Chain A
């Protein structure tokens, strides 16, 4: 017989991933700021010998913020919210609890190995898929364990209908699994050469143009299924929870979900416009990128309209600020992306700093804002204490918002300047600038971007401090808050 008492949810795994999200977020963003500064001030390349050059640190930055910070955030919010929307506690199944903890332990091992191998330069040199084959195998195990925990919880759920957030978490699980497996197909050379050379080394199953296609099918859709899908899952859970408002439209959420699933995968080839990939694939990538505005804006508008009639909360509750601005940046970045995917625009934008600029209004303004808001919302419920300081959140919000704006505006200018200079010709049709001219001209923008990095990482340090204080010394709560998170 079912008891009517409120369920006591178990947050032990969610807490573990909260810690790693804070740790990796800080480290990853710090490295990002350092490499941003290296472009403006090249002397900074020599702080750590061969391990400190821009080229060696750049993949470390991307991997630590993606697989360290973002993925930790995804797991933390999943292990927190899945129990609640499925109405089942992790504590009800020893097996699922064990799987969750085992997954975390392996995750820590993999993350550490990732940092070490990348510093050493052991890499497949494919973007966002740098890790060599032994690590790939470990990641497959971690991912399968996540699937076991997810479908385990679903299997013993009390709430029969899956809430929108669960749709997105399921899609994240399936999408990453499929893409990761295909892109990392490689043959370890040690075993095929009569035990010669390094055990770690492998050679890709695909060559040249084929390899590029598979890689960007992954590269683009890793953005879809790590930076978009689970983050949408978060906002569908946390915004209604924090604001006390019901999701504006079920139909809109249906349209956006199935639309996003269908359209996103096609767009990968927009990373390969004007390359040696067949023309029709490039055109498909370009067209579907523009179509992608619909489902992306569908989710974002659905979230903004969820606040209908309650916009006063925007001034009163800083967490609502974070989430509303996150959806707004999501709209900006999902409009900017399709613009860059138009072939004629791409001819100028590709290979320039406009691309990292675009990436960062998405990841800083949308992904990181949403993860931080989610973790702030979870903290009083997991640790049974109120949030340490509202003032600090407010200050953090403005510092980081300024940082994001500085980042993308400086990179817009840098990218378009460089793209135009590369193609500029004089009256006789000769190239006007040597390559180095197009580098030195960017110095002020690189300096501004580095400053943006300093501001953002400062904001993140404030977030970390606020969270740690909340966990350890904030005022205790006697009962769980209903909607708005209590803060001092």
Chain B
């Protein structure tokens, strides 16, 4: 049979394809039928948080930080309750990471503050002596792309039925109408910060990346379950 196959490239290729596709069919598909459902009361990310998630992706935080607390006592002691599948329902992409050069961040919002993050992103070793994390001073200057984050919210609402309000809808006009809400959220974060340039920028209606990033980091943890009550 193998000799026969080796003289017939078409059937050979079909054979290879069937053999390699098999595992995916059995291992991947069943979970899709199950599809990850959100845990009860979980709210989707706000537009500002989505913009922060883009900063998290852009500066590739997953290179060193995980967002997955494994069910071991050493991990729950260090980071809190182990992660549940339904907590990731609105994560596109998933940002679990595969390496902990730095600590896990899945519940970082529960134990770090805006002020701490501001100092840390400006100069990590100022709050964690001995840290080998680089400073991300450019995030204090670069302006976050809120419009793209809004476009993402519109997309996941319309395509994947993520439960956003009726004020998230396509088009420039809708975005302009929505923008003040995002800026108001940014002002709340900036109020807890001390960097002059950041405060000025936010006051002028521009949101530096670090503000969006902090909004996102603060959302990692219990604050996204408030809807439950």
Q: Which residues of A contact B (CB under 8 A)?
A: 38-39, 42, 45-46, 49-50, 53-56, 58-59, 121-127, 151, 154, 160-162, 167, 170-171, 174-175, 178, 182, 187, 189-190, 192-198, 201, 203-204, 206-215, 217, 254, 258, 261-262, 264-266, 268-269, 271, 274-278, 281, 284-285, 288, 347, 350-353, 355-356, 422-425, 430-431, 435-436, 439-440
Contact = CB atoms under 8 A, between A and B. Distances in A.
Interface residues of B, number: 90
Contacts of A261: 16, 19-20
26 contacts: A42-B133, A59-B60, A121-B58, A123-B57, A126-B93, A151-B9, A170-B9, A170-B13, A174-B16, A194-B170, A195-B172, A196-B147, A196-B150, A197-B145, A198-B145, A198-B151, A203-B92, A207-B89, A207-B90, A212-B88, A212-B94, A214-B28, A217-B24, A268-B27, A276-B84, A278-B31
Interface stretch (B97-105, B112-120, B187-195, B214-222): B97-105
Interface centre among B7, B24, B58, B60 (most CB of A within 10 A): B60
Interface of B: 2-3, 6-7, 9, 12-13, 16-17, 19-24, 27-28, 31-32, 34-36, 54, 56-64, 66, 68, 70-72, 74-75, 77-78, 83-85, 87-103, 128-136, 138, 142, 145, 147-152, 154-156, 158-160, 170-172, 174-175
B12 A162 contact: yes
Contacts of B93: 124-126, 204, 206, 211, 215
Given A123-B60, A207-B160, A275-B96, A217 B131 contact: no
A42 B134 contact: yes
A284 B151 contact: no
A217 B150 CA distance: 30
Contact of B88 (A207, A217, A356, A422): A207
B60 A56 contact: yes
Nearest to B53: A125
B151 A171 contact: no
Contacts of B75: 422
A162 B7 contact: yes
Nearest to B136: A53
B63 A196 contact: no
A152 to B, nearest CB: 11
B94 A439 contact: no
Contact of A436 (B100, B129, B136): B129
Nearest to B170: A194
A213 B22 contact: no
Contact of B132 (A160, A167, A439): A439
A210 B35 contact: yes
A202 to B, nearest CB: 9
Contacts of A212: 88, 94, 96
